[in-house]
Structure 1
Amino acid sequence: MAFAQNTDAHRPGRAFVPFVLPDTIASLPRRPFEFSPAARDEAAASLEPGALFQRLLRDQESEASLLLARRVLEAFLPTDGHHENGSYEDTDAETIAVQVAEARAELAGTTGSLGAPGSEPRRTVLRQRAPLTLLGGCWLDNVSQPATQPSVIVNRLFAHHLTLRGDGNTKRGLAHLRRRALENEGVYLPSIAAVDFLDKARARPLTALHGCFYLALSRLPANFLPEVVGVHYAFHALGTDDLLTDTPPALPVAELRDTLDTYLDMAGPDERRRLHAAVRLTLELEREHVTTLAEFVSWRAGLTLESKVAEIISRHAPLAGSQHGGVRVGDSLLSDLFRSPGPSQGGTPALDLAAFLADLRESRHLRASGSGEGGCRFTDAMKFGGPMFGIFDEREAATLRAWAASVQLGERPRIEISPDTVGEERAARWSAALARSAPTDVVVAEAEPRDHRELFHRLVNIENFPNTLPLAAERAERCFEDAEILFVHGAGGRYTDATWFDYSPQALYERAERVYWEKLIQPYQPLQEIPDRDEVLFRQTTYYLTYLIDGAWLHRLGHLGHDERESDGMLFSIYADEMGNGDLRKNHITLTHRVLASAGIELPHIRDEAFMEQDELPDDLYGFAIQQLCMCLFPDRFYNEILGYNLAIEMFGSGEMRLHEIQKLRHHGIDTCYEQAHLTIDNFSAGHAKQAADIIVSHLDHVRRTLGDAAVAAEWHRVWRGYASFAYFLEQPMLEKIAAGAEPGATSPSPPAEPTTDAVTELVI
């Protein structure tokens, strides 16, 4: 493993390049990826394909998961545009489009031969393909983030992401539509994040490995933007799943092509090579998987009845344990046969299926029961009330009954087991590449940011600094705990009231409406005197750092495998609004840069190292932005807190402060587009503020229905401390009074655990 010094230390003389619209960046600068020694050690344990698939899907918060993602990408992607099939030359969009169209025609010929709709072969194919079918588009989950917004290409991709997510309605989203198509064919599977999903899909190692590549890309999209664009175009333009499920394309080919053209127009030679390499890899993977599906169908079609029975028994035997008690087949107890470890475990050989079937068909368990229905002990045990009722699905039970009937008819064909080895050679090639993977850009070091500016830089570019994650989690948790002081003293807030109250939907709406009207709307009176331009600009600069990461608190919520609550779709809709729903002109980060330009303020992009040297924005507001970036990196761990924070920040978008800022900016000829957008979009009638309250009610109702009332209380405590964490930074004057021992206002009923004034730390920094 390579070691290096911190690449983001302050360096005098760093070039200052002001950011200007439009953001035509085609890729981020190549940087190392820093991981802690603990993450290196955790990621060192080898994972079989299914376990790796689940880790990448379910763990979106740890260093180790990101290190695994980096290793997967190293194993799959050609280095510097080179691959075992040769080097890739710079290629235009038309050539790429022709290559993909030719591959689609080729795949269409194969998919059309994989069984008629509704047939067992087609169900087998769809079940095996399901992990990839349901993953489609996951690489866009995190492409929109502080490091990439407001890039032209990222907003193009986000518009596609919004379409794939059903414009915020999960019932219209691609994953839901695909699942319905599978169910229409008789393929019923649990959630893709369920622990038994791959088992129920009977996914082969090759399928899981392909899925690992797409999931890995979804974890590091900012650093692999050319690859994201290439994979996105090729996967959807190929439309393998459209062909298999006989459904319309998720995205129009013309729209995909337009996005490809736009990107290539902005890309340099290196980005173009990387994109083309990703296209070629996607074509290779899809050809490989469809070929495997065809071989799988062919293998199954050639199975004898005995081989089909053997396949069923081999799948269920490891789960049988000692449940068969004293039941014998031949000279052995079933409990002993099914417990036998395989050779790799250093024990007795694995179950000899051919010998077992030979013994079973001569045993009393398959002799006719005399019921006149062709039954026997074995098949009777599968009936309602029998000891094996519900163990086998309908297809499996029908196969076992057919075999039992053939045995009773005296059929004794030679037992030849045809093992399922389809795709194993291809899977072994990718597994070997994974085992060899050792990215040279991985650096092992502890995160030691020297100040808030460097910490902010690391958090914005978290893909390159995963070793900062433990620090971020600790900092976010400490802020949430400290903010609970406002459970007692929050009524004195100028713009918020974080005092504790027992939750009910009515109580939440009443509190929110009271804060909205009494603290944000009714106090408003137009300013009689407008401060001078310098004073107005200074006050605005205290906001700009958080404006530049607008929406960041939501950008990691509702990703694949983490998007099954109604509240997830509602939160995604709010984030989509913040990003202009893919319309670059309406993107709130774009609006912020418009305002900065109108005020004559020049800054590098926040992703750039040079931003650490800027002197336009004051240092004492970094803490506010840092807290937002810290908590957003843990969308599962801090889900409840983010809901509360979302309510507070969306409510703050309306009312007195916003109206006064508009008045001052207009007076001095500074663009008011950002303030105007929030004044309208965040209203408590139907805007984000009201939606934020609705989201909390929806989430807690889901908790009540699934876990009970007691769980609601615990979740609510965390939601409300999320609200308080926003107030903790906003209400600085009140907190200073608390720290000085003064009583700032009335109190509400005590929270579950009352904090002390010692909790007031790092008020705004």
Structure 2
Amino acid sequence: MGDDEPMLSVRTVFARACEPEDTPLPDTLRAAIADELDRAGRDGALRCEPSAAATWAEAERVRFTALFATAEREGCADVLVRRAVLACAPLASVSGAWLQWMSEPGNAEDPVTMRALALFAADVGTGHPGESRGDAYLALMRHVRVAVHARPAARLAHDRRIADPSFHMSALALTMSRRPDAYRGEIIGLDLCLREVGLLPPLAGVRTRGPDTADWAALDPGRARDPRRAPAIDDARAVAAEFTATAGAAGTAAIERGFAWAFAALRRWSDEVYRELDAARDPSFEMAELMRSRAREASSYHDRFVMRGRPLKQWLTEARTDPAPFLAALADSRLVRPGRSGESRLTGELVSESGRMFRVFPDDDLDVINRWIDALPADPAERGQLRPAAYQPRSFGFRPAPDTTGDDGVAPADLREAYTRLLRRSVTQATRRYALRYVERWLARSRHGMKQAAQSLPAEPPADGLRPWLLDQHDLHNSEFRDGSDAPLPSRAELIDSTLQLAPLTLIDGAWLAGHTDYQLASAERGHFLFNTYWDELGNGELELNHPLIYRILLREMGIDLPPTRSPEFAAWPAIRDPSFELPVYWLAIGRFPRTFEPEILGLNLAMELSGVGGSYRRARHALKQYGFSTTFVDVHNTIDNVATGHSAWAADAVDGYLAQQAPAARADAWDRVRTGYRSLNPPSGFWARNAARRARVEASAHV
């Protein structure tokens, strides 16, 4: 791409950065991001000085509060409330989302990761659907009736009432969130800055309208969601300190870059919003905005009506760039009675049910027109001196960069290389295509012979939900365990070998759910079950409860000290056999596509969480105890995966919720996909099943 390549609008960048499976964007914008981060330093922005950010924010909140007080006296505070809430929406609706990919299967044992994930978990309201900080902001938007484009957050880009400057910071922060390998320190720095700032300054004016308007604690990213916990800003400082301690001077510099950029961007944006709100106190400002936005379509229908000797169509055409002359002519026309909107044809006869402009203007637009008419002076001379405020928001765009990412189309050479690559969030497009094809082949194999499968979900979804079936399966596991209680235990060597062969799988516990750390999914009706499960697998931020770490302790008891999971040395460990990477690569691959394979992930999750409860975990416990090894790993799983209130129950509820939201005609297909996902934990391995996988590979290649 060269200089003649079209710019990406800031709205486009924001919308694409909200999409969990659209990963090329950070590489496309790497030059723009580097320039943004460097410019903060070149412009002399304050470095990582939390006290300065907090002091600035408090002074800025005082400034906005005073502006709203003035508007209250002038009778236009409602206008400022509406515009302030819209201006803050692109940032506040995704509050904390820049942390969404800080955890990845390859760093699940890292203290920085666990601290960052704990902070993010609080932001999304872990365990409760619709309880993220963004959801709290959505409630505020609904309260002031501006939420028409608010869900999902990507749709905010469609709302032309929000000016470009309000998308700038969130668009780049979300884009950086998709490349934690490149911007880990910068993300920690910008998060720290936003939490030091706390409640966005324009919202201080909104808060003066009443303490019950919103959940203000949720809208302040520096405060705790739970009053029993420490403030979120304390956790953010701890994340920064931990990262600095491990990454050294380079880590400190990265944090400072992110903090400085965020602080500079916030100050520029806050000034823009203040200017906009100040201008909006003038009724003619919003009227000019309205005319500018509607002039293009309106000009097609008004070639006969004449004002001041010129067709209205001509006036409207010119109003697309400068509406002031048109507004002056309209104010003097027979359509308007200055100071009396109730008696004006424009807001009465013409827009009535029998009028020629019925439903042309929605209620919000009519409010703008009425306000403008009521503010017009009766004296024509005074009206002639009026001109709308000159404020015009800046437009933003980013120039895409040439593709120099090294994606030469070379896919992983084998399972071990694929394992190492897929442990990271950021992969080349060749690796992404490999992952997609791997999943498609695995699922094709899982579908083979589904009707004859002995261990599968029912052919039809139970009318009363999966909970009764779940209890039946638990009873079956218990019976099988008791029936096999006299079976000989594996030898010590066999137990150690099987534990080692499971290491590539167990050390990425929850990897099939990694995509559900995406902000919009983690607090969704179904997704919150999956994120909460993922959060549990990693110990809820407590390293002593982290499942991969617990498993490493067990391996060390057995005399096995493996390299770090994300290192090439781990995948190359000679004692781990090739087939031990097959299922882990499937987990890592499908976890990258939380939307594309949602029903399959739901089924896989149910199978995984139910697989050992009541049966194999108990048998494994006996074997471990027999040879003097810790049973903590299986004990933890047998309790948290329980079928009453644990992961198995959550998994069943997530499937039931998914099916309930499907149209009746689509439910059978959706259920088949869930069943396929369930079977994919242990797919058939015979000739015909493998042949089905090969056919899927050929079909997939034909569509690339």
| Aligned equivalent of 1:482 | 445
Distance 1:125 1:665, change over 3 A: same
Post-superposition shift, 1:571?
1.8
Distance 1:436 1:691, change over 3 A: closer
| Aligned equivalent of 2:174 | 215
Distance 1:689 1:177, change over 3 A: same
- Alignment RMSD: 3.5
Q: Which amino acid letter does the alignment assign opposite residue 676 of structure 1?
A: D
Post-superposition shift, 1:486?
3.8
Instruction: Summarize deviations over 1:633-658 as a string: whole Å, max 9, x none.
Output: 01111111111111111111313322
Q: Which amino acid letter does the alignment assign opposite residue 580 of structure 1?
A: G
| Aligned equivalent of 2:25 | 65
The whole-number CA distance in structure 2 between the counterparts of 1:725 and 1:372 is 67
SS in 1 for 2:8: coil
Of residues 431, 434, 437, the one that matches 1:471 is 434
SS in 1 for 2:152: coil
Post-superposition shift, 1:147?
2.4
Q: Which amino acid letter does the alignment assign opposite residue 290 of structure 1?
A: S
Of residues 495, 506, 517, the one that matches 2:475 is 517
Distance 1:515 1:558, change over 3 A: same
| Aligned equivalent of 1:156 | 115
SS in 1 for 2:406: strand
The whole-number CA distance in structure 2 between the counterparts of 1:677 and 1:316 is 62
Q: Which amino acid letter does the alignment assign opposite residue 327 of structure 2?
A: L
The whole-number CA distance in structure 2 between the counterparts of 1:476 and 1:450 is 16
Of residues 701, 704, 714, the one that matches 2:669 is 714
The whole-number CA distance in structure 1 between the counterparts of 2:346 and 2:253 is 64
Q: Is the contact between residue 191 and residue 561 of structure 1 (CA under 8 Å) also seen in structure 2?
A: no
SS in 2 for 1:633: coil
Q: Is the contact between residue 149 and residue 589 of structure 1 (CA under 8 Å) also seen in structure 2?
A: yes
Gaps of 5+ in 1: 1-39, 90-94, 341-347, 741-755
Of residues 287, 293, 307, the one that matches 2:267 is 287
Distance 1:204 1:517, change over 3 A: same
Instruction: Summarize deviations over 1:51-89 as a string: whole Å, max 9, x none.
Output: 1211111x321343343454553232239xx93146999
| Aligned equivalent of 1:458 | 421
| Aligned equivalent of 1:18 | none
Distance 1:645 1:216, change over 3 A: same
SS in 2 for 1:503: coil
Of residues 689, 714, 725, the one that matches 2:680 is 725
| Aligned equivalent of 1:317 | 295
Q: Is the contact between residue 29 and residue 399 of structure 2 (CA under 8 Å) also seen in structure 1?
A: no
Of residues 658, 680, 685, the one that matches 2:617 is 658
Q: Which amino acid letter does the alignment assign opposite residue 159 of structure 2?
A: K
Count of equivalent residues: 663
| Aligned equivalent of 1:380 | 349
Q: Is 1:607 aligned to 2:566, yes or no?
A: yes
The whole-number CA distance in structure 2 between the counterparts of 1:671 and 1:120 is 64
Matches within 5 A, 1:574-593: 574-593=533-552
Q: Is 1:686 aligned to 2:645, yes or no?
A: yes
Matches within 5 A, 1:110-125: 110-116=63-69, 119-125=78-84
The whole-number CA distance in structure 2 between the counterparts of 1:336 and 1:611 is 72
Post-superposition shift, 1:297?
2.3
SS in 2 for 1:697: helix
Instruction: Summarize deviations over 1:199-223 as a string: whole Å, max 9, x none.
Output: 4372222221211111112211243
Distance 1:647 1:216, change over 3 A: same
Q: Which amino acid letter does the alignment assign opposite residue 103 of structure 1?
A: W
Q: Is the contact between residue 584 and residue 590 of structure 1 (CA under 8 Å) also seen in structure 2?
A: yes
TM-score by structure 1 length? Answer: 0.78
| Aligned equivalent of 1:84 | 42
Q: Is 1:263 aligned to 2:263, yes or no?
A: no
| Aligned equivalent of 1:169 | 128
SS in 2 for 1:570: helix
Post-superposition shift, 1:567?
0.9
Q: Is 1:56 aligned to 2:17, yes or no?
A: yes
| Aligned equivalent of 2:213 | none
Q: Which amino acid letter does the alignment assign opposite residue 89 of structure 2?
A: A
| Aligned equivalent of 1:616 | 575
The whole-number CA distance in structure 2 between the counterparts of 1:140 and 1:235 is 12
TM-score by structure 2 length? Answer: 0.85
Distance 1:306 1:181, change over 3 A: closer
| Aligned equivalent of 1:759 | 692
Distance 1:115 1:402, change over 3 A: closer
Q: Which amino acid letter does the alignment assign opposite residue 480 of structure 2?
A: Q
Post-superposition shift, 1:505?
3.7
SS in 2 for 1:723: helix
Post-superposition shift, 1:263?
3.1
| Aligned equivalent of 1:506 | 464
Of residues 88, 95, 103, the one that matches 1:136 is 95
Q: Is the contact between residue 126 and residue 523 of structure 2 (CA under 8 Å) also seen in structure 1?
A: no
Structure 1 stretch displaced more, 465-474 or 395-404: 395-404
The whole-number CA distance in structure 2 between the counterparts of 1:387 and 1:560 is 46
